[in-house]
A = this chain, B = another copy of it.
Amino acid sequence: MKYLHTMVRVGDLDRSLTFYRDALGLEEISRKDVSQGRYTLVFLAAPGDHAAQVELTFNWDPESYQGGRNFGHLAYGVENIYASCQRLMDHGVTVLRPPRDGRMAFVRSPDGISIELLQQGPALPPAEPWASMPNSGTW
């Protein structure tokens, strides 16, 4: 038995690829346009860890997606949490829970999917601007 992917629905594919690929740093592995079903599937994964994927489902007929409380978040380990958060901010993503502790951060996708970033190995030494950055919203 083997974990394959987590599927999330996205209301705007371009905006979601900016988030998951350009800002978060996942790689696009494959894509499938299904014109009969009027949807597109895009599979992404962390570089060097292609086995565990996230599947974006984009329905061509517009729909706005809300979250529920039963789903919590997706978590990724990163090599440098400050660099990861800077990349997210450079793409206009608000770091809702900044890595003040050099260890943990949270952001949300355009559709409200919560993403946890965890520094792999020991926490980094506290550093600005993160150390004094307040929380925003919920995650």
Interface mask (A1-34 → B, CB under 8 Å = 1, otherwise 0): 1111111110000000000000001100000000
Known contacts A4-B76, A67-B71; A52 and B55 CB within 8 A of each other:
no
A interface, how many residues as a size bin?
35 or more
Q: Binding site of A, secondary structure by majority: helix, strand, loop or mixed?
A: strand
- Copies of this protein in the assembly total 2
Q: Does A73 contact B (CB under 8 A)?
A: yes
- 23 interchain pairs, CB-CB under 8 A: A1-B26, A1-B46, A1-B79, A2-B76, A2-B77, A2-B120, A3-B52, A3-B74, A3-B75, A5-B74, A7-B71, A7-B72, A7-B73, A7-B75, A9-B72, A51-B52, A52-B52, A65-B68, A65-B70, A66-B68, A70-B109, A70-B111, A70-B113
